[in-house]
Each structure stands twice: as structure tokens, then as C-alpha cells.
């Protein structure tokens, strides 16, 4: 149980007052009914700890899907001055650029409702899943350097996708600043066989029904039509990203001592952004970010092929296009208004999503006047949501919002609660077909292990940092 006390700012914003070594206050975005679960966790203490880091600007923040994580809480957001601030692997996480891609299709549910089982089975065969899973791609070390530099564009250049896919990915799927030469041999060895694989844990590919529209004009702009089928892909940088983080933490622990940074928690080890250690972490992190972009592009290609093969239809009939793709675990340079002036900052989002409002030049031209699409997956038994970023997010949270439902139970507790049950059969009774490599994953990921994503979405919408566009109901899921 956290002993941190909250001060109410609004119905959906709660402040941790500045105290002790905190350089700024903390801010937690949540509804009142969510506070008891949040206070039962140690995550609020992590929000306060992040507030002590040098160069932090505004607030140390956490979104309503927050829960305890390594260093920063999951759901944590913090921006740092690029001159005297720090960069921390704990503010990005082990699964660098874990993220979500949403694909719309021209398929109507009524047309394929009897083919869901076949579609799920086909996707499960086509997309390697599970811990340590290996894909059919064979890439050399030279290829890996290109993957880490070019991201999703590398996959498109190999015939796995189309140029228009790149327009609708954060950073166009190719973030600048990658330094593949800083990625360890061990990380490359881990990443080579895993390109185009889903992995395990909360990663998934999901067939979904667009079952409710909250904003019809916005949904039309995103190509989302009630009654149609969508596909969501959720995965990250696999073993390569994990190893980049692991390698960097060892260096950052030494750097924290070298630069005299007083850490309330060793998991917040960091270095000044402009230091050699800070720049080296950034370059290796961006290489892993681009690997994750490429990974989701390859999986998209195989998902398209699998669905067309199962239904025996053409690309034109499938009409499967990228709506958008967002990153969750990332640190990046952005320009925001700070004290009335434009300022370049380094924004850490750890289990949080960029949610830029209308008019931002980083957005695709087709969406620039409505704001950035925000993709919020729920658990495999409940809905996912499509939101849009807002001007209020730009003003309050450095253009950030939640990233998912957020865990309610630890993985061990979920497994304990699932004993004697068949999660697969329970979901089947609700009309959701699930294929997974192991029963353990289904136990860890059962719906009750997560907060209700509707509550999370209502909280960010109530705070004004996102607005609802559509709800997607799961029909079939593949997991590791």
C-alpha cells in the first residue's frame, strides 16, 4: 500500500505535492473509483521518485493504466530539459518501442462471421508466437544494421508492405538518430531470428469487430466503419530491445555515480542527456525502436497474406490498410510549449502513448486537422478503443495519454486465480476464439488480470487529454 497522499485537482487529475527532493509535483490521471487500486500499488511512489531526477519539467505524470514497473511506473510520462536533464532506461523499459498498429479492412463481419476460427488458425500458423520464438526470415548482420537504421521502410523495401503504410506510423516507422554500431553482439544475436515474431506475455494479434462509433466524422476520416473487421497488432523489439536495455542499465549505474546523480531508486539510473553515456543510450535505443517498427511491418505483411489465403480473396477485396501505429515505450526529442515558449525537450513515455492534438506537423496530412489517432488495446475478453489526441494533451501532458488497460493482478496472482479453470473455454463462451502457444500465457493474460479498459478510457476522456472515436470488440486472438 502506497503512503503517498493525493490532492484533488479535478475529477480526473490528482496531484502528489512536491516534498523532500522532488523537483516538481506529481500528477496522476484517474477517476476517483480507480484511486483505491492505484494506492494499493507502489506506483505512486515511483511517480514521486521520478520527480527528483535532474532537469525534469512540469510534472512527473502517470496515466490511469498505471502500475508498478522497473524505474518509472508503467503509465509514466516525464519530460526533461535537453541541456541539463537526464535520460533513463527505466523511463523507457525493457521492451523498447512496444507498440500497437491498427489495420482496417473492407471485410464486413456478416460476410466472414463463420470464418473466424479459420482466420485465427491461419494467423496462428503464419505468425510465430511464444517465448524465444523464431521466424522464417533469415537476416544477416548487415541486414540487421539496415533494419535498425531504416525500421519499417526496410521491410517495405523487401516487398513486405507498401510505401503508403509508412505514412501512418509514428516517426514514419524510421526514427532518426539510430546508431546500430552501439548495439551489442549479444543483442543482435537475439534479434536476428526474432524479426517478424510476436513473442509472449501481453503481445497479440487480434481480429476485431468495429461495434460502436462515438464520433462519426472522425471515424470516417480514419476509415472505420461500424460492422467492419479490424486487426490490431501489439508487440515490440523482442530480445534485441531487452538486451539493449539490459546492457544500458549497467552503463547507466556507473554514469549515475560518475555525474553525482542522487538516485532514490537504483532502477532510475540515468545520465545527462548530452553526456557520452546519454547519447550512446539514445543511439542504441533508437536502433531498437526501428527494429520494433520493422517487426510490426513484417507481421502486418504475413497477416495480410494469411487472411487473403484463408478467405481466398484478393488484396483489393481485403482492402487492409494501416490506420495508424503508436509507440508505447520510448524517449524522444519533441518541441512543446513550456512557460509560454517553444522548448525542445526529451519526453519519456513508459507504457504511455503520444497523443498529439490537431495541427501538429508530425501527424499525417490526412489526420492533421483532427489530431493523432491513439490506439488503446484492452484485455482479450473486453473491448479496445480508438481515440484522438487533443490540444489539452499538448497543454497538460506533453501530448501524452494512456496505453492500455493496465494490469490489476501480478502475473503470479493471475496464474494462481486461474488454477482449475480453462480461460480458453471461458472466452469461447463469450464468442472469442483464442490460440496460444502455452496455457500459462492465457492464465497470466486472463481478462480479470487487467483493469476495465472502459474505465481507463473514460478517465483520459474526462481529463480532456483524449477523445473517443470508436470501440472494437475482440473476435479472435493469437498469443504467445
The residues annotated with a catalytic role in the active site are 403
* Whole-number Å distance between alpha carbons of 263 and 252: 12
The number of beta carbons lying within 10 Å of the beta carbon of residue 445 is 27
Question: How do the residues of the chain divide into helix, strand and coil, expressed in percent and rounded to 5?
Answer: 40, 25, 35
* Whole-number Å distance between alpha carbons of 125 and 129: 9
* Whole-number Å distance between alpha carbons of 457 and 387: 9
Give the DSSP per-residue string, 288-312. HHHHHHHHHHHHHHHHHHHHHHHHT
Give Cα 432 to chain centroid, integer Å: 23
The number of beta carbons lying within 10 Å of the beta carbon of residue 316 is 7
Would you say 210 and 224 are in contact if contact means Cβ atoms under 8 Å apart? yes
Give the DSSP per-residue string, 132-156. T---S----HHHHHHHHHHTHHHHH
Would you say 172 and 166 are in contact if contact means Cβ atoms under 8 Å apart? yes
* Whole-number Å distance between alpha carbons of 356 and 336: 10
Give the DSSP per-residue string, 87-121. E-GGGT-SSTT-EEEEEEEEEEHHHHGGGHHHHHH
Phi, psi dihedrals of residue 263, rounded to the nearest 5°: -100, 125
* Whole-number Å distance between alpha carbons of 300 and 123: 11
Question: Kind and range of the H or E element at 251?
Answer: helix 238-258
- Residue of 176, 152, 155, 156 whose CA lies nearest to 101: 152
* Nearby residues of 146 by Cβ (< 8 Å), 6 or more positions away: 154
Would you say 438 and 46 are in contact if contact means Cβ atoms under 8 Å apart? no
* Whole-number Å distance between alpha carbons of 110 and 91: 44
Q: What is the dihedral of CA 430, 435, 438, 442, to 10 degrees?
A: -30
Amino acid at each position: 500500500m502506497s503512503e503517498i497522499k493525493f490532492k484533488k485537482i479535478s475529477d480526473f487529475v490528482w496531484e502528489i505535492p512536491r516534498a523532500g527532493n522532488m523537483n516538481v509535483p506529481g500528477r496522476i490521471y484517474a477517476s476517483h473509483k480507480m484511486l483505491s487500486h492505484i494506492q494499493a500499488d507502489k506506483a505512486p511512489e515511483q511517480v514521486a521518485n521520478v520527480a527528483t531526477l535532474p532537469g525534469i519539467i512540469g510534472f512527473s505524470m502517470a496515466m490511469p493504466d498505471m502500475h508498478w514497473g522497473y524505474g518509472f511506473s508503467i503509465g509514466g510520462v516525464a519530460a526533461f530539459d535537453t541541456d541539463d536533464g537526464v535520460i533513463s532506461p527505466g523511463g523507457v523499459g525493457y521492451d523498447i518501442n512496444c507498440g500497437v498498429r491498427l489495420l482496417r479492412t473492407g471485410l464486413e463481419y456478416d460476410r466472414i462471421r463463420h470464418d473466424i476460427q479459420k482466420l485465427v488458425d491461419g494467423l496462428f500458423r503464419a505468425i510465430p508466437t511464444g517465448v524465444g520464438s523464431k521466424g522464417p526470415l533469415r537476416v544477416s548482420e548487415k541486414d540487421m544494421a539496415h533494419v535498425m537504421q531504416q525500421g519499417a521502410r526496410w521491410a517495405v523495401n523487401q516487398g513486405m508492405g507498401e510505401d503508403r503504410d509508412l505514412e501512418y506510423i509514428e516517426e514514419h516507422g524510421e526514427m532518426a538518430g539510430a546508431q546500430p554500431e552501439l548495439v551489442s553482439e549479444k543483442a543482435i544475436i537475439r534479434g536476428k531470428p526474432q524479426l517478424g515474431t510476436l513473442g509472449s506475455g501481453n503481445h497479440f494479434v487480434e481480429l476485431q469487430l468495429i461495434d460502436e462509433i462515438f464520433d462519426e466524422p472522425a471515424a470516417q476520416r480514419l476509415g472505420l466503419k461500424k460492422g467492419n473487421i479490424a486487426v490490431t497488432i501489439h508487440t515490440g523489439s523482442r530480445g534485441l530491445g531487452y538486451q539493449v536495455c539490459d546492457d544500458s542499465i549497467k552503463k547507466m549505474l556507473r554514469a549515475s555515480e560518475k555525474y553525482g546523480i542522487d538516485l532514490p531508486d537504483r532502477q532510475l539510473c540515468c545520465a545527462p542527456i548530452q553526456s557520452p553515456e546519454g547519447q550512446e543510450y539514445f543511439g542504441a535505443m533508437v536502433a531498437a525502436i526501428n527494429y520494433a517498427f520493422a517487426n510490426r511491418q513484417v507481421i502486418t505483411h504475413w497477416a495480410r497474406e494469411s487472411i487473403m489465403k484463408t478467405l481466398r480473396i484478393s488484396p483489393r477485396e481485403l482492402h487492409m490498410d494501416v490506420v495508424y501505429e503508436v509507440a508505447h515505450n520510448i524517449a524522444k526529442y519533441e518541441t512543446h510549449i513550456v512557460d509560454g515558449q517553444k522548448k525542445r525537450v526529451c519526453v519519456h513515455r513508459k507504457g504511455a502513448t503520444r497523443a498529439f492534438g490537431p495541427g501538429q506537423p508530425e501527424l499525417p496530412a490526412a489526420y492533421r486537422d483532427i489530431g493523432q489517432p491513439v490506439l488503446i488495446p484492452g484485455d482479450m475478453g473486453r473491448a479496445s478503443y480508438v481515440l484522438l489526441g487533443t490540444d489539452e494533451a499538448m497543454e497538460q501532458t506533453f501530448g501524452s495519454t494512456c496505453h492500455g488497460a493496465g494490469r490489476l493482478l501480478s502475473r503470479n496472482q493471475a496464474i494462481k486465480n486461474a488454477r482449475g479453470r480453462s480461460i480458453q473455454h471461458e472466452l469461447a463462451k463469450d464468442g472469442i476464439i483464442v490460440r496460444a502457444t502455452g496455457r500459462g500465457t492465457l492464465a497470466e493474460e486472463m481478462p480479470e488480470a487487467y483493469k476495465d479498459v472502459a474505465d481507463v478510457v473514460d478517465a483520459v476522456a474526462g481529463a480532456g487529454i483524449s477523445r473517443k472515436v470508436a470501440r472494437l470488440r475482440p473476435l479472435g486472438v493469437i498469443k504467445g
